[in-house]
Amino acid sequence: MQRAEFIQQLWLDFIHQHPQIGGLRLWAPNAPAEYLALLTLNHCHHGMTALLPSLEHFGYRIRHRHAMADRGLLVNLLAPPQEGPWLAIAELQTGTLPRRSRALLEDLVDRAPDAAHRGANRLCRGRPWPMPDWESYQALYQAHPLAAALAINGPRLHHVGYDCRRLGAPLEDLHRGMEDAGFVGTADRQHGLFPISPLMEYRFYPGGSRPLPFAEGDEHRVETGGIALVQKSVGADQERVVELLLPHHTRCEFS
């Protein structure tokens, strides 16, 4: 698998979950995304240590790392070798969960077949373990919403971020277009997968809820993921928008 095929599979899996996003016509279908935000966890073969060899095979290299202790997240920003979307991979640290919730999530992950832990496309083929029951999902959600999202989705693309400048329109114009298309956006910088830097103007649009069958056969509507629009609120410089996306105080030094 090559990098272009990897990105295409991520996108196809994403719009399969969010067909209304795939149907957007506010910008060209081939408009470049600024970043792809993925959610995974540091357990078994799904942590960054295990994922990095495949990502490096595609040419990605870690450029920045951010630690968010209040969310139990380690976020790595990976740059592609040429033009293209960066990857923002949020890794949930299961050790920050309450003991019972951690055991519940890790037991679920451990029930995946061995083959699910291998292959360069493990981030774009869906949840590799059984669906939890509704009661377990709710318990995980109370402990940490991202633990619940991982339980039902697996390691996966959470949302796609677009730089308004590269789309050729200001944020407010695009925001009105999103509202006209039926999306309800929020400017809350704490909403979504990770907190957003004050250097960014930002809107996050949930992708809408969808009915999912849980382990005991009951269906419930669940909302995960969406789309983000960002633009710099400071003067232009040489850095990509994605490099300024996360709060500076969360950035880690690494060799």
If pLDDT is split at 50, 70 and 90, which confidence band does 126 have? Answer: confident
Split at pLDDT 50, 70, 90, the class of 255 is low
- pLDDT at residue number 121: 78
pLDDT-based confidence at residue 44 (cuts at 50, 70, 90): confident
Assess whether pLDDT exceeds 70 at residue 235.
Answer: no
- How sure is the predictor about 254, in pLDDT bands with cuts at 50, 70 and 90? low
Helix axes 134-143, 145-153, angle to 10 degrees: 140
CB 221 within 8 A of CB 208: no
Give residue 228's pLDDT band: very low, low, confident or very high (50, 70, 90): very high
The mean pLDDT of 159-165, rounded to a whole number, is: 96
Closest CA to 85 of 237, 184, 228, 185: 228
Is 209 in contact with 199 (CB distance < 8 Å)?
no
Name the percent of the chain lying above pLDDT 90: 76
- The whole-chain average pLDDT of the chain stands at 91
Assign 76 a pLDDT band (cuts: 50, 70, 90).
very high
CA dihedral sign, ordered 14, 17, 23, 27: negative
Instruction: Please say if the pLDDT value at position 216 is more than 60.
Output: yes
Neighbours of 226 (CB within 10 A): 22
Q: What are the structural domains, with CATH classification, of the chain?
A: 3-252 (3.10.180.50)
Flag whether pLDDT at 208 surpasses 90. Answer: no
**pLDDT class of 28 with cuts at 50, 70, 90:** confident
CA 177 to chain CA centroid, nearest Å: 23
Tokens of 205: 């649009």
Residue 94 has pLDDT above 60, yes or no: yes
Query: Using an 8 Å Cβ cutoff, are 71 and 61 in contact?
Result: no
Lowest mean pLDDT among 101-105, 222-226, 236-240: 236-240
**CA dist., res. 138 & res. 202, Å (int):** 29
Q: What are phi and psi of 5, to 5 degrees?
A: -70, -40
pLDDT at 117 over 80: no
**pTM for the structure as a whole:** 0.94
Q: Is residue 78 within a helix (H) or strand (E), and if so which, with residue range? A: strand 73-79
pLDDT of residue 237: 64
- Three-state SS sequence of 129-169: CCCCCHHHHHHHHHHCHHHHHHHHHCCEEEEEEEEHHHHCC
| pLDDT number for residue 236 | 55
